[in-house]
Amino acid sequence: MPRIESKVRTLVSKDDEMREAVETVLDRTDDGERDVTWLDVKGDLTSGQWGRLIEKEILVEGDEGFRVADAEATRAGLEPASTSDSSGSAAGSVTEIPDDDESSWSKYDKGAALVTVGLFVGYSWKPLRDLIGTAMDVPLSPLQELLPFYAVVMILALATGLYSTLLQANLMDMDKMSAYQDRMKDIQERRKEAKEAGDDDALDAIQEEQMEAMGDQLGMFKEQFRPMVWIMFFTIPVFLWMYWSIGVGQNASAQVALDSLVLPLVGEVEWTESVIGPIQAWIVWYFLCSMGFTQIIRKSLNIDISPTSS
């Protein structure tokens, strides 16, 4: 039964204790020759493991307890996957996903996320925007006095590009991201092979595995969003300072002397003038500088933040 093999392989690939539980059940049943009850394995299996084996129909109801549905397929599921036959297309090689606890958010990550949500209020609430702008102006005003404002924005774009790249490189687990992508790619390939072979049992098993793998999508989101929280934590105050300095928003006035800005393909515009739909010139200038500097930084430091599939 390729479906049983796939279920066993999926269970044990992510849990060494579950592998021991399956081996224990096989041993107590003499490789499926006799039935086993919960009392027979109570000291070696947890109730959760016992229930998991029944839930996955690896253990089915017998005459005097429960029996192994297919001992041969169960044994095969404990072995390394083979893709040489139709059952291999169902079981395939399951990519091992690192323990999610290893990348769980720390209290500092959660604190930064909470503060970041509060900082967003500054975009629409002028008192908070003025407060943050005034505070940020203390370290930035000397720079603004030495350089024209467009050059100050360039330096800020360079700084944000640098720490954004470093945060992504250090806070995102690329091995885990690659493992997520490899597993989903492996499932899709095996699904295609099983469909071409007309193996309904394999398709059912792969469909079930695909449903179980939906949790990987949440894991990928957590991995991607963790550095993003810190990037926004440091970047939003910079943006609010530019809001405050340029005088963006209702009842706002510029805090610095602003000359006209010259943008590529657009020409001379005012800082708050809309140039791409509702997007104002200062935002376009910042993102042009940020994207350019970020690419240079990644090339210079040889940093690749794209997961690589095996």
Predicted confidence (pLDDT) per residue in 75-130, tens digit: 888 886 544 344 444 444 444 554 444 456 889 999 999 999 999 998 889 899 99
Judgement on whether residues 167 and 71 belong to the same structural domain of the protein: no
Judgement on whether residues 140 and 31 belong to the same structural domain of the protein: no
pLDDT band at 146 (very low <50, low <70, confident <90, very high): very high
pLDDT at residue 270 above 50? yes
Judgement on whether residues 142 and 230 belong to the same structural domain of the protein: yes
Domain contains 84: no
Q: CA–CA separation, 152 vs 256, rounded Å? A: 12
Burial degree of 259 (CB within 10 A; 0-12, 13-18, 19+): exposed
Judgement on whether residues 107 and 156 belong to the same structural domain of the protein: yes
**The pLDDT value given to residue 83:** 41
Q: CA–CA separation, 246 vs 244, rounded Å? A: 6
Domain that holds residue 6: 2-79
Q: How many domains does the chain have?
A: 2
Residue 52 near residue 94, CB atoms below 8 Å: no
Half-sphere exposure of 96 (CA within 13 A, CB side): 9
pLDDT at residue 307 above 80? no
Mean pLDDT confidence for 59-76: 85
CA angle in degrees (0–180, nearest 5) for 196-200-201: 125
Judgement on whether residues 173 and 36 belong to the same structural domain of the protein: no
Mean pLDDT confidence for 259-272: 90
**The pLDDT value given to residue 215:** 66
Judgement on whether residues 176 and 227 belong to the same structural domain of the protein: yes
Domain contains 129: yes
Judgement on whether residues 31 and 168 belong to the same structural domain of the protein: no
The amino acid at 8: V
**Tokens 């993102």 belong to residue:** 287
Judgement on whether residues 216 and 248 belong to the same structural domain of the protein: yes
> Percent of the chain scored above 70 by pLDDT?
88
Judgement on whether residues 221 and 174 belong to the same structural domain of the protein: yes
Judgement on whether residues 55 and 174 belong to the same structural domain of the protein: no
pLDDT band at 67 (very low <50, low <70, confident <90, very high): confident
Domain contains 94: no
Least confident of 3-17, 144-158, 159-173, 238-252: 3-17
Domain contains 126: yes
Judgement on whether residues 152 and 13 belong to the same structural domain of the protein: no
**The pLDDT value given to residue 90:** 41
**The pLDDT value given to residue 216:** 65
10 CB contacts (<8 Å, ≥6 apart)?
94, 209, 212
**What is the reported pTM?**
0.61
Domain contains 75: yes
pLDDT at residue 227 above 80? yes
DSSP string, 255-298: SS----EEETTTEEE-TT-EEETTEEHHHHHHHHHHHHHHHHHH
